[in-house]
Amino acid sequence: MDFLQVDVFADKAFSGNPLAVFPNASALSSAQMQAIASEMNLSETSFVTGISKTTYDVRIFTPAQELPFAGHPTIGTAWTISHLELTAEERLTQRSAAGDTYVFVKDGRWWFVREGAAGEDLEDKDERAAGRIADALGIEPGDIGLEARELGRAGRLRPAVSDAGIGHLMIPVADLEVLQRIRPRAELLAGVTNSGAYCFTGAGAGRIRARGFFPGAGIAEDPATGSAAAELGIYLAARVGALEMEISQGTEIGRPSRIFLRAKPGRVEVGGRCEPVLEGRLSALP
């Protein structure tokens, strides 16, 4: 069975987040998909199980589990089926366990569109939330939170869960120095969030720097997390209004990534470029 590996949210090969795509995977069982994803040992591996003119069906696996939706596999899978000329359309609907996701290409970037909702600030329900989050990340409680003026708006941003398909904990931190010295403890992080943490701070006008930690899914730190970026867009738009941002992620682990974000309350678009890295063939199936 043939596959492609592409770097997603990348300006050049060997940056961004690598993804293995199996474009003709309808004959595989769930157990086979999970075994292959574990063998590939990337953040995610996607398996296309059906393609029509304007739609495709996909299943997405980390090395440890299946996901109902994920961002960089959505971008990378759409790019791959277009690159292989399995579709000539520039506007597609991806069907996965999380429902339909609209995908399109514009100016060399593939984009996906999701709707979602942001929850209340955790500290409104639990005044000790910042302390527990800080302990899990190896920083101080005073490092948690970000003045919204860093994003050109008024107010203060605090941790909250945001959901655009999976649901992640958004954690604003004070500055780049704090973001760089985060050293998460998986056992404590699991006590704070089951789905992982997306930590971010301001990095200049229209720019955000982020790090994503998802130990429960077998991903200690992710180079680029499209689903969490979408949920960050939902979170920010609910607090500061419509926005356009560029997110940098993966710098701390040597995989610099660029994620483009457009959001308004309840709706977000996430985009980026893909670079092909290798073509391969499995010599055996599990």
Catalytic machinery residues: 44
One-letter amino acid for residue 7 of the chain: D
3-state percent helix, strand, coil for the chain, nearest multiple of 5:
25, 40, 30
Structure tokens at 266: 């309840």
Phi first, then psi, for residue 166 (nearest 5°) are -125, -50
Whole-number Å distance between alpha carbons of 17 and 33? 20
Question: Count of residues for the chain?
Answer: 286
In 3-state terms, what secondary structure has residue 186?
helix
Q: Are strands 207-214 and 243-249 parallel, antiparallel or unpaired?
A: parallel
Strands (E), 116-256: 117-121, 146-147, 156-157, 160-163, 168-172, 197-202, 207-214, 219-222, 243-249
Residue 220 makes CB contacts below 8 A (sequence gap 6+) with 186, 213, 214
